[in-house]
Amino acid sequence: MLRNLTVIRRLVQTLVVLFLLFGAALVGPYAADKVSGAWPALTCAYDSQAGDYCALVPLQHQSTHRVGQAISSDRSLASGLASLSLTLSTFLILFVVLNKAFCSWTCPLGFFQELLAMVGQKLGMRQAEGLPDGAVRRLRPMKWLILGLLIFGIPLAAGLGVSAAGFSNHAPFCEVCPSRFLTTLATGDFSQFRLDLASPGAAFWTGGGLFLFGTMIALGLTVRQPFCRVCPMLALQAAFQKLGLLRLTKRPVAQCDKCGLCSRACPMDIHEIRSSTQEGDATFPDCTLCGRCVEMCPQPDVLRLEYAGLKVFSSDPAYFKARNRGQRRWEGITLDGWWQRRRKREEEG
């Protein structure tokens, strides 16, 4: 029996993140460049060591230089749309294989947020089990707004020649994306940590990026996956989630609505997984396919991770009991607890 899916997932995360951050050092700069050109889906293009880069970068540039400028001039709009479609197609090749497991199994920023939560827990900081329903509902549309405005809207306006004190930008999301700061910092590059005062627009974008990165770190110590909840990559994936081969499925039973362990375990606070009575695909738009809900379900075969219709991992009472005991032991290891035990030994000695 699989001992601990979360441990396996974090091991995969670690190996993938190491490759994505230091890919050029592993395969050489020329090979890394070819990987980046073929698979625009993963880490940040601002990292000079990266073995890959994010699909959101070319989507912004193509919205400006290929689509927007084609509309505002006599250039071929069909050519611009073709380049945009090519980027989406190469993104979809990898997406079909991974589906939204990209977020919880391979994304460097998602991995970093999980590390922040672990640090907060070990420091004894009080961590919310989940956000209130009202906060979750208000946050969910934000990823779609960011996708529409920062990935396509503002870059398209920049290509059309719309400018307002520098607020028009061909890559506005990159200016505020926490991954730009994180992945470059991981390779010893501090150049992205700057406040550009050349214009009000430049100050707005660079200041906004620094603020968002700091906010993510502060929230990440007590709130699970704070940036993932508003990430436009998750919205882009949700738009195509039916194409992915990996799925979360559910076979509802009467105990589901009374239990709620799956929704409490979910780092994205998808409470619908508990109340859903529909059998079959349960991959909700915010789901990252981390498998936590499957691990923490005590009912046999109610929740499953399936790949191309084949069962990969399913809920199991024996696994749940062992996993639950392990989780309690893990959560019991804190810096404060260690300090208290040390003081007690000193007093007794």
Distance CA 19, CA 310 (A): 29
Count CA atoms closer than 13 A to 334's CA, side-chain side. 16
The stretch 143-159 carries a mean pLDDT of 94
- The answer to whether 289 touches 99, Cβ cutoff 8 Å, is yes
Output the six-digit token pair for 107.
């994304």
Output the pLDDT for position 75: 77
- Residue 167 reports pLDDT greater than 70: no
Question: What's the mean pLDDT when you consider all of the chain?
Answer: 89
Residue 339: CB atoms within 10 A of its CB come to: 11
Interval 23-36: pLDDT, tens: 888 888 888 888 88
132 contacts: CB under 8 Å, gap ≥ 6:
none
DSSP three-state, residue 123: coil
Q: For 251-310, what is each residue's pLDDT tens digit?
A: 989 888 788 899 999 999 999 998 888 899 999 999 999 999 999 999 999 999 999 999
Give the tens place of pLDDT for each residue, 183-231: 999 989 999 999 988 888 889 999 999 999 999 999 999 999 999 999 9
